[in-house]
Each structure stands twice: as C-alpha cells, then as structure tokens.
Structure 1
C-alpha cells in the first residue's frame, strides 16, 4: 500500500483556447485515481482549475490579475469544479472530500498537526481528499503561490511515497522543448545539486489560465524529496501513466528522495512557516552552518533585515545573498541589531539581562 499525492494543473484540466473543462481528461483522471484506491493505495488529489472554471462561467477572456476579482472568480469556479469531480467519482462509488487550505493553516504548529490528523482520518476512511488553495480568503502574503508548492507541502506533511506533478509536457527537459527543438530529456535527478550542474533552463510562466511553470515544479520537488517523497513530473493528458510509472516503466522525470529525510518538525520550520526577516552571515558562520551543523551565534551575523519577534522564522543567508538555512530565532530583530557581530559572553552586558548563547539553535535550524 502506497500513499500517493497527484497534482493536476489547470493546463491539463481545461481546453487551452476556451478555458472550459476538458471532461474526457478529467474522467480518465477520476478512473485512474479510483482504480488506485481500489488496489489499496491511499490517494490525495491536489487540483487547480477553480479560477479558470470561474472565468469560463462568467465569460471572462483572461485570468484576472486583481486579487479581489480573482478571489471572487475562484468562489464561482470552486463549487462548479467540485460538482464535476463529485459526479464523476460518485459514478464509480468513490467518496471524496474537499479540503481548502491557506498558508496560515500550516504556520501554527497546532494547526499544522490538525491538518495532518484530518488527512489521516480521511485516508483511513477510504476517502480521496481533493485539495486546493482557498483562493477566496487567502491574503497575498500568506499564499502558497501555486499548487505545485501546495502539493509538495501536502506530500511532505503526510509523508507520502509518491508525488506526481502532472503537467503539459511529458518530462523535464534541459530547455523548453516547445521552443528549443534539440532540448535534452532528463529521466532521473539523483540530487538537487546534480540538477543545478545540468544548467537546466526553466521558464517561470505557466499557461494562459494557470499560475505555474517548470520552475515551480522543481521547487516543489525540492520540498518533497527532502521529506523522502519520490517525485515525478509527467504528462497530465495521460493519467494512466501513474500506474505504469509505479509499475516501473521509465516514463517522466524522477526526482529521487533523500535517503535520510529531515524530521517533520524541521520540515515545518523550513517550508510550513513564512519567514519574517533575514540574517546575513560572514563567511565563517556560513560555512559553520552549511558544513558543520553548528548553531548560529551572534558573532557571525553581519546584517539584520526585517522586523520580527522571538521564536519567529527567519531566512539565513550567506554574504553573496544565497539562502542557506531557515530557523526560529531566540532574539527579536531589535535585540539582534544590538548584539550582531558580538561575542556571546557580551550579550548580557549589552542587553542588560542574561540571554541564551545561540541566536538560532541547531535543533531549530534547517538547511535549505
């Protein structure tokens, strides 16, 4: 029995010219997921398409850019999309559930665990949860941004075995095969570092009706493989390929999972939280964290950006501006402005009270 998360993009669910639902493709997807469920697997579907369906329903000719209009259109489309899914799954006697998430559902640890428990109970009941971002109420600073990221976070949360990112190309290429005829296909990515060495060109633009692009799928793969989830990019037009891939056929691009996944709590810190500030380190501190697994001390901090309080999440950057880690801070931004670059033994004298030695303890720090 495997736990499978399938993310289907707007380009695979809708007709490119009209934005109307591609009913035959959706029906094949429903049949495939219902078959997997009957075989004993546990299945979660992360589905885009609400905004596109809403646009078609309202006669809009392009995806809205204004967030208030987009939220209104999503409210129109989400109900229609779920109606289509429910009709098709009900024909096959497969129960489903709608799960709408916002980033704030993952920010608080208690909420994060509650979402996990909800998914666990639904899967135990033999239900296929259908997940989407709650566009109707999500505020810009607390949005997932795209369903590729959402699907990876869901796969990480439930510790899935597989994440399938269904898109409009059959696999990852060295460049966009639609505009570069000699682009090279990539079958397996053993590590994200290896992918960087391949110098893959990724476009950030999704389809006319969607928000993603190959760059968001690679970012999603990075999140998922860190949780030990095998991730596959494959073509959304052929949902039956999911079963073929699980049976060993060499289809799509496989991102191999890390052999030693990071802990659930550290995954929450790295990907569930929204960072409130940035800490820039000198070279010695950056190396100590990246290579030595050390805690972050005040002496290694050269610059503090943003306003944050104790125990909020921050991004940790090297001198060149590359994010190397994320973590929960033991001091506020105002305190760090006073003690950055100073030795730990000086903290109590500078702040007027005895503080902890570390700015970010290694137990609360995750390399990214």
Structure 2
C-alpha cells in the first residue's frame, strides 16, 4: 500500500479476464471506468502510470464471431487486428473525462531482446511520460508468432517495468495474492502478505494453470516478480475484479507484495557498468563539465570516436583528464563520427535522416 502511494512510476497489468466479459466477449465498461478513476488519482498524486493491457484478441474474436476454444495463430492475429482498435478506443474514452491523454504502444519480444530496439522503445516511452500521457502497452499480436511473442502479459509488464525504471509493478489478477497452494482446491492454502525473496521453495508453490480468458498462471507471475524485483522494482499481486481495484489496494485490500532487490536506477546503472565497452568517445572540457552536472552527452562536445559499435552498444566516455564513465550509444560508430562536434540541430542535415539530440543520454550513462 505504502509502496504504491510513494511510487514515482508504476506499471499496471490488466488481464483479459478482468477487461472482457467471459460469457459474451464484450468490454466490461463499468469496470474500466472505475480503473480510470484509480489511474487518474495516481496521476494527480504525481505518479507516472503505464498500463499493460490484454484484451485485443478477446474483443476481436467476439466481433468476428470466432468459435470458443484455442485459436490458430492466424485467427489470433486477425482477432487482435480487429480488437486492438476497440481496446485503444475504450481506454481513450475512459481516461479522457479525467483530462488524461492515452497513447498506444505495441511491442514484440524482439523489441526487448535487440538492444537498439530496446533503447528506441525506452526513449519513446520516456517521451510519452514526459508529455503526461498514459501509455497503453500490449503485445503486438497482429504480427507476433510463437517464436517471438512474450506469451503472457505478466512477462511483458515486468519487462516494461524494467525498461522504464518503474518502482512498482501491479499485477491485477483473479486472486488476491500469492498462496502456498491453489486456494480453490486447498482450503489450508496460506496467502503471503509479503515475499522478501523468491526462493526455490516459493517457486515450488506456483502452479501452471491459467484462468478463463487469460493465458498466464501463478508461475508466470513469479517469473515476472523475479524479473522486476531483481532490477529494483517492487511487485504486487492484487484482486483485480473489484470496481476500484487500485483504490482497494490503497485502502488495504489483501494482496502479496514482492520486495524490490535494490533501487531500479542503481540496478540499471550496475547493468551498464558491467557491460564490456565496444568503443570510446573522447569529449572536450565543456562536455566533461556538463556530464559532471548530470547532463546528457551531445554531439557538439565530442572530439574523437574510436572502435566499431552499433546503436545501443556500450562505450567508454573519456575527457581531457581521463575516463568519465560508460554509456549506451544512440548512434553507430560511423554515425557518431559523422556528427561529432556538430550541433544537435545539424544531425538530420549531416546524416540525411532525423536523429536523437543526445549521443548518449544521461539515463543510459554511468559516471
């Protein structure tokens, strides 16, 4: 409860079973309106909010009158194409009365596995949050195949939380927390209020069974917890079917918190620091001073580029008096060499296509 209240950035995952009526495949509009009130309350308290939402396939298959049961891949893709429009519109209509602007972000597993695409998606998300929007993220089921899909939005939500440096991940579920056994089958099953560490004993308690329209079970939620908490993000599993699920969590509803293992920014910085550099960027005294004040590295301050690196690869940043730190380059070595010493406004003219203002952004840098 206190963790959510104090969160600077929260990722909230909504499953299909919460958003879509399991009997007729229609949107649970009243529930979504309640969630929108909760999101607005978080935003008004100064919390960045990202929603990771399932539901496009469930909505689309109802519109297309597809049969019950497992769909073939091409059927799922077609249903997602139809349902995603309705899903985005539903969120827009629910959040607009609160003065909130929505943005749609569709991702595949490759967007996190490939470092360049990972950094691009991260930069886009950061910009959307700076513009005070509420990004609605979903797996791009219209093009994702079994080989490249996340497979469940619990996993996607955890990856998004890590990508944007969230300090809280909320998984709204059809159960009110993590239990020692399946409470539907074991009356003696115990709910944990807090899990300090995900031990092998804790993992052994999770089953694989999904529920209703959703694909994930408790096993995927534990995997999400390991991903999130290991990078400094606390996670909570809470009952989502309530009309105001986040307000209920705020008021002390039963749930299970998974403790963060450190600070999200510190975890990210440690990850960058541990990477082997693929190149070096030499900067002038002015740029060195700016980096010391926590600024991003702009091309204008770069004097020399060495090594062979791609976008998203780690590089050493060196000033007149020695090494200043490490960071992830937003340009290839050839691009960086071409724009070194130039103003950010000149990048498009030099490269022939638009580029990002910073060569290495401060969020991707360890000094």
Gaps of 5+ in 2: 1-6, 273-367
Supply the distance in 1 between the matched residues of 2:109 and 2:117 (Cα, whole angstroms). Answer: 10
- Alignment equivalent of 1:235, drawn from 239, 242, 247: 239
CA contact (8 A) 2:42 2:49 kept: yes
Superposed CA offset, 1:190-216 (max 9, x none): 0012xx324653232322322111111
Q: Tell me whether 1:253 sits opposite 2:256 in the alignment.
A: yes
SS in structure 1 opposite 2:136?
A: strand
> Cα distance, 1:65 vs. partner?
3.0
Gaps of 5+ in 1: 269-368
SS in structure 1 opposite 2:12?
A: strand
SS in structure 2 opposite 1:176?
A: coil
For 1:228-307, list aligned pairs within 5 A: 228-238=232-242, 240-243=244-247, 245=249, 249=252, 251-259=254-262, 263-264=267-268
State the aligned residue count.
267
> Cα distance, 1:11 vs. partner?
1.2
Classify 1:67/1:218 alpha carbon distance in 2 versus 1 (closer, same or farther; 3 Å).
Answer: same
Supply the distance in 1 between the matched residues of 2:92 and 2:203 (Cα, whole angstroms). Answer: 42
Classify 1:211/1:198 alpha carbon distance in 2 versus 1 (closer, same or farther; 3 Å).
Answer: closer
Match of 1:204 in 2: 208
Match of 1:48 in 2: 54
Match of 2:309 in 1: none
Match of 2:332 in 1: none
Classify 1:66/1:106 alpha carbon distance in 2 versus 1 (closer, same or farther; 3 Å).
Answer: same
- Alignment equivalent of 2:229, drawn from 225, 228, 245: 225
Supply the distance in 1 between the matched residues of 2:212 and 2:76 (Cα, whole angstroms). Answer: 14
Supply the distance in 2 between the matched residues of 1:33 and 1:157 (Cα, whole angstroms). Answer: 20
- Alignment equivalent of 2:115, drawn from 109, 114, 117: 109
Classify 1:117/1:66 alpha carbon distance in 2 versus 1 (closer, same or farther; 3 Å).
Answer: same
> Cα distance, 1:173 vs. partner?
1.0
CA contact (8 A) 1:174 1:199 kept: no
Q: Tell me whether 1:158 sits opposite 2:159 in the alignment.
A: no
CA contact (8 A) 1:175 1:200 kept: no
Match of 2:310 in 1: none
Classify 1:245/1:210 alpha carbon distance in 2 versus 1 (closer, same or farther; 3 Å).
Answer: closer
Larger mean Cα displacement after TM superposition, 112-121 or 16-25 = 16-25
> Cα distance, 1:17 vs. partner?
2.3
Match of 2:195 in 1: 189
Match of 1:180 in 2: 186
Match of 1:348 in 2: none
Supply the distance in 1 between the matched residues of 2:131 and 2:226 (Cα, whole angstroms). Answer: 30
TM-score (norm 2): 0.68
Match of 1:27 in 2: 33
Classify 1:44/1:239 alpha carbon distance in 2 versus 1 (closer, same or farther; 3 Å).
Answer: farther
For 1:72-87, list aligned pairs within 5 A: 72-87=78-93
CA contact (8 A) 2:228 2:234 kept: yes
Supply the distance in 2 between the matched residues of 1:17 and 1:205 (Cα, whole angstroms). Answer: 20
Supply the distance in 2 between the matched residues of 1:41 and 1:265 (Cα, whole angstroms). Answer: 22
For 1:319-338, list aligned pairs within 5 A: none
TM-score (norm 1): 0.68
Supply the distance in 2 between the matched residues of 1:103 and 1:200 (Cα, whole angstroms). Answer: 26
SS in structure 2 opposite 1:142?
A: coil
SS in structure 1 opposite 2:118?
A: helix
Match of 2:290 in 1: none
Supply the distance in 2 between the matched residues of 1:141 and 1:112 (Cα, whole angstroms). Answer: 18
Q: Tell me whether 1:131 sits opposite 2:134 in the alignment.
A: no
SS in structure 2 opposite 1:192?
A: coil
